[in-house]
Amino acid sequence: MSDRTPSTGDRAGTDHTEQADHVDRPALAAAAAEVPDLAPWLARRATVRQFDTDAEIPDDEVRAMVDAGRKAPTSGTAQMYSFVWIRDSDRRERIHELCSRGTVQVEEASHFLLVCIDIRRIRLLLEHRDREFRMTPAMGLLEGSIDASLAAMGVMLAAESRGYGVCPIGNILNNLTEVAATADLPAGVLPIFGLCLGVPRHGEATENAPRVPLDTVLHEGGYRDATEAQLDACYDAMNEMYGDSVYGDDRREWQETLERYWGPNGFMNRREGELLDALRQQGFFEARGIDEPADADTEPDADRHAGGAA
C-alpha cells in the first residue's frame, strides 16, 4: 500500500471497518492508485495490421488477457458476451474469405477470436433454475453489443500492455450469417466483430490513426451540432491519415471514406439486410417467429442484397 495511505485514525469520523473494506480500492481509501496514468499512452495507441507470422502468443497469455476483459462493466450483472477462439486454420481462411478478403490479419495474427453477443447463456442460466426467459431482439442486440465491446476493449488493453498488437475486424459483417455458420454458433449467439491478437511485424503499431477534435465529441452541458469550422477541423484532422494507409493514398479525402461506408450504396446500407438475416438465423426474433421480418424490413432479399437502403 502507498506510503501516503492515511492510517485508520487519520480521518476524523472514519469507521475503521469501512476503511478496512476499502484496502483493495485505493480511491475510496484516499490512497494513491497503483495503476499508472494511461491517458498519454492511450492517446498514441493504434491498430496493428501487419503481424509477425512466425511469432506466437502462448495460449495461457491469451486466456489471461480474456480473463482481464471479464472484469469490464456489464448491464444488470448479465455479462452478455462470449469470445469464440477460432483455432482451426481452415476456418480462419474461410472467415477471411467471407470478409471479402482484404483482412489478411485474420490468418496472419497469432490468434483470432470472434467477439459475440451471448444471450444463450442467459437462457440456459434461467432454465437451470426453472425460470422463464423471453428473447428481446432490439435490447438483446443493444445491451449485448455494449457488454461485448466493453469486454473486448479490456482484452485489447491487456494485450497491448504486454506489447502485443490488436486488430478488430468489422468485415465479418459483410457475410454475418455465413460467419456464424462457419463458427457453428448456436441460436442466441451473434458475432459482432473479429479480434486479431499477435506480435507486430515492426515491433510496434505504426499506423497513423488521427481522430476528430475533442470538442466535436465532448459536449459540455448538452449536445450541440458541430459548427462549420468544427466540421472543417474534423476533415483536416482525418485527412492526415491518408498516404501509407489501408484507407487510401494521399489523393483521397475523408468524405470519400465516409460515403463509402454511409452513402446510399455504402457498406452500412448493404450490411443492414445481412444483419437482419443473421438475427433471424441466430434466433433473436424467435419470440415472434424466427422467419418473421423486422417491422420496417419489407423489401425482398434480392433487393436488399443489391445494396439499396434497408
Across all residues in the chain, what is the average pLDDT? Answer: 84
- Boundary residue ending a domain (147, 179, 198): 198
Checking if the pLDDT of 54 tops 70, the result is yes
Q: How confident is the model at residue 226 (pLDDT cuts 50, 70, 90)?
A: very high
pLDDT in tens, 175-187: 999 999 999 999 9
Taking residues 150-154, report their average pLDDT.
Answer: 97
Instruction: Give the cell for residue 253.
Output: 479525402
Q: Indicate whether 8 belongs to any domain.
A: no
pLDDT for res 5: 35
- On whether both 91 and 232 belong to a single domain, the answer is no
| 195, 51 Cβ separation under 8 angstroms | no
- On whether both 185 and 231 belong to a single domain, the answer is no
Taking residues 147-152, report their average pLDDT.
Answer: 98
pLDDT for res 41: 81
Residue 239 lies in domain: 225-305
Q: Indicate whether 217 belongs to any domain.
A: no
Sign of CA dihedral 156, 159, 163, 165: negative
Q: How confident is the model at residue 40 (pLDDT cuts 50, 70, 90)?
A: confident
Q: Indicate whether 259 belongs to any domain.
A: yes
Checking if the pLDDT of 196 tops 80, the result is yes
CATH code assigned at 49 = 3.40.109.10
- On whether both 191 and 290 belong to a single domain, the answer is no
Q: How confident is the model at residue 252 (pLDDT cuts 50, 70, 90)?
A: confident
Q: How confident is the model at residue 86 (pLDDT cuts 50, 70, 90)?
A: very high
Could you tell me the CA-to-CA distances from 264 to 13, 170, 270, 271, 278 in Å, in that order? 63, 19, 9, 12, 21
Number of separate domains in the chain: 2
Q: Indicate whether 104 belongs to any domain.
A: yes
CA 304, CA 282: separation in Å to the nearest integer?
Answer: 19
Taking residues 241-261, report their average pLDDT.
Answer: 81
Determine the residue type at 80. M
Taking residues 46-64, report their average pLDDT.
Answer: 94
Taking residues 202-211, report their average pLDDT.
Answer: 76
